Structure 1
Amino acid sequence: MNTAEQIAAYITGQPGAKQAELQELDRLIRRLSPGCTLWFLDGRNGEGKVVANPNIGYGSYTIKYADGTSRKFYQVGLSANTTGISVYIMGIADKTYLARTYGAQLGKASITGYCIKFRTLKNIDLDTLEAAIQYGFEAGDEVREGA
């Protein structure tokens, strides 16, 4: 299966309401960054052991490590979890930025340095989530240095 097929299978494999919300978020993210690089990570490590929830990635940025190495990774991620949905805004150097900028308007969500987690779309302000995702695509590599 190619990446688009893996993404479609992952989304359609979710239970009813979560499937519909993932489809809505997938459309929203693709609208914000049309033609972006798509990723699908199945949650398995190099030995095939499940170590994380599968996730969909959108866009691409370069992670630069302190030791001078770097690698490509997605800018925005989407994943179902046991209690809801997680949206990842990757590579933000200021780990308080998402909570400070979007937290008060977002609604019922938990926000970490790079993850916005919520039970259902009904619990959050979708325009605020969209603004956070847009920030994830617009923030340049200079914001991501040292991530």
Structure 2
Amino acid sequence: MAKYTLKTQPTTKSIETYLSAIEDESRQADCRKIVEIMREESGCEPVMWGAIVGFGKYHYKYKTGHEGDFMRAGFSSRKTNISLYIMAGFDAYPDLMSKLGKFKTGKSCLYVKKLDDVDIDVLRRLIRESLDFMEKTYGPEESH
């Protein structure tokens, strides 16, 4: 089987350069707060994965033989919202999701317009729960 290379790879791009380029001041402040939360919860320093600020890393291997590495948590400032990558998904957390506030979801993406729309403590708990799931599923983070 031909090895597939995931497009989103860690880079050496500066987190500060990425954050400083966010023109909307309140969005930039929200993203800086998310960096702080994800750094605290993951115990990892942020790394740019393309246009995503990622925290931690895990190795996955599918039954098909496809394998690779990806971030354990992350976020990206998009045109209309902030996308938070909650790798465990949301199905296991109905209580947290009901208390979170105003958001939309994709498979592993939580979309928020601004942090004021969500309960920060609940968001922090959701991130923590997802990171705990990732550790149980893929083992501990090898390098911070």
What TM-score bracket applies, with the shorter chain setting the length?
A: 0.7 to 0.9
**Runs of 4+ more than 2 Å apart:** 94-98, 140-144
Q: Distance in 2 between matches of 1:95 and 1:135?
A: 10
- Give 1:37 shift: 5.5
Alignment of 1:69 onto 2:70: no
- Give 1:105 shift: 0.5
Per the alignment, residue 54 of structure 2 pairs with: 57
Per the alignment, residue 50 of structure 1 pairs with: none
Q: Distance in 2 between matches of 1:26 and 1:116?
A: 15
Give 2:21's match in structure 1, choosing from 6, 13, 17.
13
Give 1:29's match in structure 2, choosing from 6, 13, 38.
38
Report the AA paired with residue 96 of structure 1.
D
- Which ranges of structure 2 fall in alignment gaps of 5 or more residues? 1-10, 139-144
Residues 107 and 7 of structure 1: is their aligned pair in 2 closer, same or farther, counting only changes over 3 Å? Answer: same
Number of aligned residue pairs: 127
> After the TM superposition, which residues 37-52 of structure 1 pair with which residues of structure 2 at under 5 Å, given as runs?
38-42=46-50
Aligned-residue sequence identity (percent) comes to: 25
Verify the 8 A CA contact 2:61 2:67 in the aligned structure 1: yes
TM-score by length of 2: 0.77
Residues 123 and 140 of structure 1: is their aligned pair in 2 closer, same or farther, counting only changes over 3 Å? Answer: closer
Q: Distance in 2 between matches of 1:133 and 1:55?
A: 16
- Give 1:25 shift: 0.8
Alpha-carbon RMSD across the aligned residues, in angstroms, is 2.1
TM-score by length of 1: 0.76
- Which ranges of structure 1 fall in alignment gaps of 5 or more residues? 43-53
